[in-house]
């Protein structure tokens, strides 16, 4: 290469580096963040097609398998975590334990918060979804299950106040969360935990696993992806399948994927979608 060409090449590289934030040679690489969301494995009430909410039921035998399978999938895909978050309900807690056991990460720090509990279904809790659909219509049940701003039939305040005596609920700051919620209520209680604890942890470089519930995770997804109130109505999250988000420095979504093959994922999503239909 001639001396003239070498000088021009050096000049070109220096010129490119003076272009603010547009040059490929000079831009700062994006430090991608990882967040994994895991809905608990099938619960006893899930298997019976009942509204669960804050009712503290166990995993079904199938749910135990789903939780372990989720742990295996995360391990085989090479995911590592620095801290995990979960609710104060046993089906989510046990799912996390079983998944971490499969990953040989039982020592991982875990934070529990009632803010990650499932949406409270009010007086519908314990009732069969198909029976309610036959009685009130599938459209009404869909609104109770998925609508953003439609609350289910509520408990009276007197019925839920005793729950405040439980240590896990001592700092609940609004009784509506215990009487019956719409998704808007669930979002309002989940997002403070996200903004005050989880988001700062992710920004600092910590790899986070959240094992929670269908609607508390829908609240996170809605917030992360900027979904409209209408779009979230039809958005379902299956039990026991990890949902992996890749985020940029500002926690904007770069990509997302489920750790499952298409057939397994479709079957799981179809099952969730069909829960509120009359038989």
pLDDT tens profile 13-44: 433 333 333 333 334 445 799 999 999 999 99
Which residues make beta-bridge pairs with 214? Answer: none
Higher pLDDT, 237 or 19: 237
Cβ(155)–Cβ(178) under 8 Å? Answer: yes
Q: Are strands 110-112 and 83-86 parallel, antiparallel or unpaired?
A: parallel
pLDDT computed for residue 22 by the predictor? 34
Averaged pLDDT, 156-178:
95
- Residues known to be catalytic: 40, 118
Residue the block writes with tokens 């719409």: 182
pTM of the full structure: 0.87
Percentage, residues of the chain above pLDDT 70: 89
Which residues make beta-bridge pairs with 257? Answer: 244
Residue (of 227, 228, 219) closest to 192 by Cα position? 219
Cβ(254)–Cβ(246) under 8 Å? Answer: yes
In DSSP notation, 23-60 reads -TTTSPPP--EEEEEEEPPPBHHHHTTB--TT--PPBP
pLDDT at 55 over 90: yes
Find the range with the poorest average confidence among 31-35, 124-128, 224-228.
Answer: 31-35
pLDDT at 162 over 90: yes
Averaged pLDDT, 172-196:
97
């Amino acid at each position: 290469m001639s001396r003239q060409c070498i000088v021009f090449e050096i000049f070109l590289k220096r010129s490119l580096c003076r272009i603010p934030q547009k040059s490929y040679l000079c831009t700062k690489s994006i430090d991608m963040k990882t967040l994994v969301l895991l809905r608990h494995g099938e619960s006893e009430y899930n298997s019976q097609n009942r509204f669960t909410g804050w009712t503290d039921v166990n995993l079904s035998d199938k749910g135990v398998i789903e939780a372990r399978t989720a742990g295996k999938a995360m391990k085989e895909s090479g995911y590592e975590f620095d801290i995990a978050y979960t609710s104060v309900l046993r089906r989510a807690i046990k799912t996390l334990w079983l998944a971490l056991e499969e990953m040989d990460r039982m020592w991982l720090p875990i934070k529990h918060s009632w803010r990650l509990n499932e949406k409270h279904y009010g007086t519908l809790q314990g009732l069969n979804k198909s029976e309610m659909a036959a009685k009130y219509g599938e459209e009404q049940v869909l609104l109770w299950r998925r609508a953003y701003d439609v609350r289910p039939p509520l408990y009276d305040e007197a019925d839920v106040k005793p729950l405040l005596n439980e240590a896990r609920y001592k700092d609940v700051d609004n009784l509506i969360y215990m009487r019956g919620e719409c998704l808007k209520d669930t979002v309002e209680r989940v997002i403070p935990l996200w903004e005050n604890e989880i988001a700062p942890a992710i920004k600092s470089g910590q790899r986070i696993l959240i094992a929670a519930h269908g609607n508390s995770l829908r609240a996170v997804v809605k917030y992360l992806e900027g979904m409209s109130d209408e779009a979230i109505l039809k958005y379902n999250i299956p039990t026991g399948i990890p949902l992996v988000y890749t985020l940029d420095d500002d926690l904007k979504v770069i990509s997302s994927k489920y750790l499952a093959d298409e057939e397994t994922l479709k079957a799981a999503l179809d099952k969730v979608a069909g829960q509120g239909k009359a038989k």
